């Protein structure tokens, strides 16, 4: 089996700050994803990447950058943290076959003061 | 515009009862419907899924019923256990396929009382 590791587990930032979240997977999966989870709103796709150095925008990409420099890692940057923002950011990976299951990390909980 | 809707937002049942979680969708091109289960402090994990060519999928105590004409599906959890207490997400993807096209509902929080 494999594992997805997200760091940090908790992230506290200041308004306007640039914040980076990291994700590592050892499944050897090609595709990786970043989702945002807000209470009562489900999961919304921010960015995904189908291979190393590939980036694709999801529905919620504005205000975020992403980077896939290695197959095993995918990072997400909040370009300017919004005051009182609070959300959980979930990283996931899958093989590229249609409808292959997603494997999620445990999430990074972001709070902005 | 919420493409995938779930109801109720939260549900409480007694141990041993059947919990029924509902999901509806708008896009008629959706043809794959996974349900993910999420425990507090963890990421979601695939529980069970169904494609639009089937009207029922069963896996142990978990069953999906699918009504293509009404664009509705439901997850039935029979003999509910306290360990089933979690958030359940219905998701859908369409003709273009792939997990990158998955649209998630807002989730149903299930509590099972011993």
The answer to whether B100 contacts A31, with C-beta atoms less than 8 Å apart, is yes
The answer to whether A106 contacts B42, with C-beta atoms less than 8 Å apart, is yes
Q: How far away is chain A from the Cα of B45, in angstroms, using its nearest Cα?
A: 7
In this prediction, what percent of chain B has a pLDDT beyond 90? 83
Per-residue pLDDT averaged across A94-107, rounded? 84
Q: CATH code at A76?
A: 2.60.40.10
**8 Å CB contact between B56 and B33:** no
The answer to whether A98 contacts B89, with C-beta atoms less than 8 Å apart, is no
> Does the pLDDT value for residue A63 go beyond 80?
yes
* CA A72 vs CA A5, A9, A13, A49, B83: distances in Å: 10, 18, 26, 11, 32
Confidence at residue A100, expressed as pLDDT on a 0 to 100 scale: 73
Q: Dump pLDDT digits (tens) for B29-76.
A: 899 999 999 999 999 999 999 999 999 999 999 999 999 999 999 999
Count structural domains, chain A.
1
Report the CATH superfamily, name and number, of domain B4-113.
Answer: Immunoglobulins (2.60.40.10)
The answer to whether A102 contacts B46, with C-beta atoms less than 8 Å apart, is yes
* pLDDT range class, residue B96, cuts 50, 70, 90: low
Contact residues, chain B, for A29 at CB < 8 Å: none
CB atoms within 10 A of CB A17: 13
Could you tell me the residue ranges of all domains in chain B? 4-113
Give the pairing type, strands B86-92 and B32-38: antiparallel
Per-residue pLDDT averaged across A87-110, rounded? 89
Confidence at residue B93, expressed as pLDDT on a 0 to 100 scale: 87
Q: What angle do CA A49, A10, A24 make, to 5 degrees?
A: 30
Contact residues, chain B, for A109 at CB < 8 Å: none
Q: Residue A101: which domain range?
A: 4-112
> Does the pLDDT value for residue A106 go beyond 70?
yes
The answer to whether A107 contacts B43, with C-beta atoms less than 8 Å apart, is yes
Tokens of B92: 């859908």
Mean of the per-residue pLDDT values of chain B: 93
Nearest to B16 by CA among B77, B59, B85: B77
The answer to whether A40 contacts B93, with C-beta atoms less than 8 Å apart, is no
Confidence at residue A83, expressed as pLDDT on a 0 to 100 scale: 87
Per-residue pLDDT averaged across A97-112, rounded? 88
- Best residue of B44, B90, B107 to probe chain A, by most A CBs closer than 10 Å: B44
> Does the pLDDT value for residue B95 go beyond 80?
no
Q: Dump pLDDT digits (tens) for A11-56.
A: 999 999 999 999 999 999 999 999 999 987 889 999 999 999 999 9
Contact residues, chain B, for A43 at CB < 8 Å: 44, 89, 104
Query: How many A×B Cβ pairs under 8 Å?
Result: 62
> Does the pLDDT value for residue A99 go beyond 80?
no
């Amino acid at each position: 089996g494999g594992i997805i590791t997200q760091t940090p587990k908790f992230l506290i930032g200041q308004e306007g700050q640039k914040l980076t979240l990291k994700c590592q997977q050892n499944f050897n999966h090609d595709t990786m994803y970043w989702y945002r989870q807000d209470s009562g709103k489900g999961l919304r796709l921010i960015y995904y990447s189908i291979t190393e150095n590939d980036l694709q925008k999801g529905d919620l990409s504005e205000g975020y950058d992403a980077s896939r420099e290695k197959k095993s890692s995918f990072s997400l940057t909040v370009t300017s943290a919004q005051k009182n923002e609070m959300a959980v950011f979930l990283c996931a990976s899958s093989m590229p076959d249609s409808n292959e299951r997603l494997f999620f990390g445990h999430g990074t909980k972001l709070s902005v003061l | 515009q919420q493409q995938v809707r779930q109801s109720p937002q939260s549900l409480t049942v007694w141990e041993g009862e059947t919990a029924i979680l509902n999901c509806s969708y708008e896009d008629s091109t959706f043809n794959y419907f996974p349900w993910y289960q999420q425990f507090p402090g963890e990421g979601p994990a695939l529980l069970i899924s169904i494609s639009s060519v089937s009207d029922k999928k069963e896996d142990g105590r978990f069953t999906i019923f699918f009504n293509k004409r009404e664009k509705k599906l439901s997850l039935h959890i029979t003999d509910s256990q306290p360990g089933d207490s979690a958030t359940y997400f219905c998701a859908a993807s369409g003709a273009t396929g792939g997990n990158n096209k998955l649209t998630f509902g807002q989730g149903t929080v299930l509590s099972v009382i011993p």
